[in-house]
A and B are shown apart, each in its own frame.
Chain A
Amino acid sequence: MQVIEYSAVLFFAVPLAILLINILFPKQLAEKFSIYLAGIAAITQIAASAAGFLLLSAYRLHEYEFSFWDMTNAGSVRFGVNTFSLVILFCIGLVSLASILVANRTVDKKRAGYVNLLMMLMLGMNGMVMVTDLFSLYVFLEIVGIASFVLIAMFKSDTGLEGAFKYLVMSILASIMILTGLSFIFMQTGSLQYAHVVGMNLLEGQSSPQLMLIYAAMTLMIAGFGIKTGAVPFHSWLPDAHQSANTAVSVLLSGIVIKVAGIYGFIVLTGLFSKLPAVNMALAIMGTVSIIIGALFALRQNHFKRIVAYSSVSQMGYILLGLSAGSILGLLGAVVHVFNHATFKSTLFTNAAAVHEQTGTYDIDEMGGLEKKMPVTGFSSLAAFMSTAGIPPFAGFWSKLLIIMALWDSGFQLFAAIALFASIFTAVYFLRLQKKVFFGKLLSKFAGLTEIGGSIKFAQIMLTVVTIATGLFFPFALLYLKGIGIL
């Protein structure tokens, strides 16, 4: 039992330790070596989450709770890990590693600042995934938010500051909504721990004003987490923030922050309020609209990173649809899609960084035929986009299949059909990107172009291997999950 606790404590101890080391060392040393320390933190996170997963299944447990101080005190914060949260913790480690590898090339000045903020972000995201009460969830959500604003704005370009300010104002509105919803729930239950909120059975024996307050709380919290996710009625900040940030930061934002800050909130909400069908319906409608509108907006962009950012809006829609099914199969599909989206979206942003490093532009109209000069980038981009579009041997196919099956089982046949056909849009906008950037005739001005080397190439190869391996071995993963009794 002790071993699990050690591996769980690592998720907090390692980022904090690196943050302290980074601050205590002289600035020149920190600028030089902090990026390696950050790499160590990311690799430790990956190893700890994998070890935690194996330990949980070895002990035949579904979750493990622990606390840093006396658990019996009224206000003490409990932390817990379960099988699904360990998958998300693994994604956090993987995307952070990809971001660090990209930052090794794209971030020249302020490396120590980047690493400090990245550690804060990792700490916030790990905390969000591991806490077991709604108020601590909110606190860690704000830590994630603050680290993201500063990461976008820290290079002080006009666009970066603009994107950060838009994100910040939308985020404050989101926290106002989430916190108001929390206070309404707190009014009814007297406690915000997940176990107490589930046990209270909020709907029975309530008078109509109280019911109205609970529905108001649900509306506010869905809107708040919707802003954090970037789901469609609330998506206006997402492409701006993701486009304007440094590409190493975009990898983080699109790869994991919107999922932990937004989608994980929805996972908690659907877990706590599974008896309210209105919640599932709202998520289903928001998801469908996100899929279609996000894909249509992605079709008319010319900025490489903006296309990929709108693609995130569209893919978040699939995850919301998976959650709206309200079954364990839907939850599994959503979490697997979180993992797949983390890998292929990081790949695409890494490719954006590679193309920008070599050609100096993000405008896809100015590119063409880069595949001949940059074969690794071209192939990893192709693999990532096939996975996004859900083409069979790749990883995205399995998660979309699980989501559509779960929707069909729960009686949302219409939404399942829309999700299936909207995959075509995904293929269309990525084919457009792929054709304009990598296929076709090589422009004469790119005759002397070379393939990207070093850490970005390593990140591309690593992420592509993960995408292809997940696709090929996913049936075994399903069998394993069945073996340990999750499905």
Chain B
Amino acid sequence: MPFYEAFRLAIQTIRAQKLKSSFSLLGVFVGVSSLIASCSIANGVDRYMTEKFAQTLYGVNTFQLRRQPMFVPNVPDSVWRAWRRRPRIRFSDADAITKGLTVPVITAWQSSDQVTVTFANKEARDIELTAASERYFDIKNLDIVIGRPFTGEENRSGVPVAVLGDAVSKRLFADRPPLGRSVRIGGVPYRVIGVVAHQGSLMGFPLDRFVVVPALSPAQNLVNPPGILDAFLVKAHSDLEMREAMSQAEGIMRSRRHLRPKQDNNFVLDTSEGIQRFWAGISNILNTVIPGIVVVSLVIGGIVIMNIMLMAVAERTREIGLRKSLGARRRDVLRQFLAESTAIAAVGAVLGIIAGIGLTLLINKLSPLPASVSPTSVVFGALMGAGVGIVFGVYPATRAARLDPIAALRQE
């Protein structure tokens, strides 16, 4: 009996026993769909982290001069305390670098803290107040939909004007036009001159709860002591130029701080690389743990199939005896049952792939997790599904093939 006959027979049997078959393919179905869904989440987060997350936090081709890295997972206390003892970044450091760089760049000052912003009797709490210079909007790719950003002139003279994040504007003004109105930050009235486009959230963190004001405006006192910056942002045109600018900035800072050649930097030039390296670590763990879980569920699915096939062999002993008496060889019977278990698993895998992709789209729609279907997981799922059918089908099929036709025919 050729293989395609065996498969045709298998499909007929499966269709004749819909309920039983659907139970037996459940295991593989769940295994494959969860494989695809979880890999898709990992894959989506992966892409998000490398593409959007890093850009949102740091900006493209941008580095930040800071006292310590912005994103620091699992740092020992001693390191942390050493960082806290470092000198802070000063306005004068930023000026020196701006003057010293030979690479074309745009730069911005940045200092941030959480504040409460009020308008009339309305209040927006836990708003990230950023005191920044005017190019901050360009470096961070902030898209202003209403009004305008503040100018270099306004920044230098410390005019109390504010650009609001979308959430802040909605919270304070609802549907009223925000431009020209005065919000209070730290008791000082700020005139609203612009609103930034809605950005949504990043891994569940809201991105629209912020206010940007000129670095030299009165709010500077709320975020940092006079003359001190959280970060100095430098954006180059390309990765190569960014690296060149980084090494120049490093030299400038080292000489300003009088560091001897053997002394370590007491500042950092922070890029998105750090966070990406951190994410790659998580991603590696996910990519080993998820397949592990899935393999376990597929093994369970396989055992279910094996049981159902053993039941089928027992139930159909007479049929096997008959087929043997009509000339079926051992390998014909083996193929028949192997084809059946493989077909069940394959149908389960196909349905699992469809459900997995559906689940991925659903997660994408309904949750903050950015899932995107990982093609490898689809291939892997299909192979695993069919493999489970073959591996766990072998034992029942062998039992069927070995049946003695006389005894099998006699069975009631």
Q: Do A and B come from one complex?
A: no
